[in-house]
Structure formats: C-alpha cells, structure tokens
Structure 1
Amino acid sequence: MKPSEQTVRTFMKDRFATENGAVIEEVDDHYAKCSLKIEDRHRNAMGAVMGGVYFTLADFALAVASNWQEMGSVSLNSEIAYLTAAKGDKLTAEAVCIKNGRTTGYYKIDVRDEMGNLAAAVTATTFRVSK
C-alpha cells in the first residue's frame, strides 16, 4: 500500500538517504519498497553506480520496513552482495521480514535495477531498542 503522509514525513528525517534521492513507494506489515532515481552524482569513477548507493537504498528500505509501524529498531548487522552493475535510471529495494522475534528481526532486501535485474542482495539483522 502507498505510504501515509505521516510515514513519509517521519522518514524524511533519514536525511542521508532522502537527500540522496531515496523515496518510499510502498509499505506493509514488516515490508517496504523504496526507490532511487540514478543521477550522475551516484556514479563512481568508472561510471557505474557506487556501491554505497545500493547499500544506502537497502538500508533505508530496512529502516522503513522495521520502523514504520513503531519506531525503535536499529540495524545490528548487514551483509551485501553486489551481483551486477545496474542498468537503466532507477534502483528499487524491497525489504521483507523473514523472522520477527521479540528483540531481533531478520530481513532480506533485494535491490533491482530498472530492468528488474537483481543488482544487490542484502541480509540484515535488526535489534529492537524500545518496545
């Protein structure tokens, strides 16, 4: 479902991600889909999308998926595999909760390019600092 105005306002405070172009497209129960329009500033010296862009978008999707209903979850650990150079002008990250425990969660985040290619795969563990 589309994010509420309140959700969008809340996550605009994630300034590094949002000032680099990350936007929320969808949210649901422990799920988020976020995207980013690729610009020249996102490219490295070889002309490819900088690895930090993939990770920033994935981390933003994780933050939204794990916090949009109730703030208090932080990333405890993340691992990223860069699988292919992005094609097109847009990246999309989908964060899905695999395990939502009492204090920790485990998420899988797929980052796809505009053609639908899996460009990066991320797994992340979250920790709930407040309940």
Structure 2
Amino acid sequence: MHPACDMLKNVRFAGNLIPHSFYKHIRRESGTTDFEGVGIMSDILYHYRPAEIRDRKTGRITGYRQRFRGDKFQISYRQYAEHYGISKGQVTTAVKNPDRLGLVFREFRTVTLPSGHRLSNVMFLEPDMESK
C-alpha cells in the first residue's frame, strides 16, 4: 500500500461531502460547472445530514439531531462569502443556481429577534429531496 494511503486509513474526515454527480448537474447557464454552487449545495446537504448522538461510555449511536435551529437552515450571503473566501456576488449567483435547477428551495423571511429588532430578507435554504 502507498504510504499516503496507509497514513490516511485512520483519518476521520468530517464536513462536506461532494458527490461526483454534482459536477455534472450543477452547471451555469453557459454549461460550465458551477464550482461555487457545488460547494454551497454540498454545505446545505451537510447541514441537513443528521448529526449522531453517541453514548460517551460505549461510543454507540443513541440517536440523531439536526445541525441547525429552527425549521430550516438559515445563513446569509455574507456568511458564505466569508466561509468560502469569495465575493458576495459570487455567493448570490452560486445560491441562485441550485435554486434555478430545482435542487434547493430559497426562502426569505422577516425575523424578529428576542430584543424586538426586526431583520428583513433573512435567507433560509432547504434541499429539494424530491428533485432529480
């Protein structure tokens, strides 16, 4: 076995997983792969993938929990821009593309904070599990 393979056999990767089919299906209108859209779609699916709850003593899975609060995953274009190191405009395009392709639902709401302040146009994302 290659030494790098041997070293990686015990590494437990966490975070986004990108199915190869995303590169084929998440494309710009020009036909090229939308790499930012691929990354964001994979991040949306990561947040909807249940997190395991394990027994501390045995390590056995005792249940699952969702990774976000509320009824849908909430994130802003600015948060994605900072996370991926790209511009807010690139993020806007990258989020609109999976929405245009019917892979994700994008919803904007007005949210009232506990302090009473109201925030408008708060983005919530949800994968379309019925799509292609």
Q: TM-score, normalised by structure 1?
A: 0.30
Q: Specify which structure has the higher proportion of strand.
A: 1
Q: TM-score, normalised by structure 2?
A: 0.29
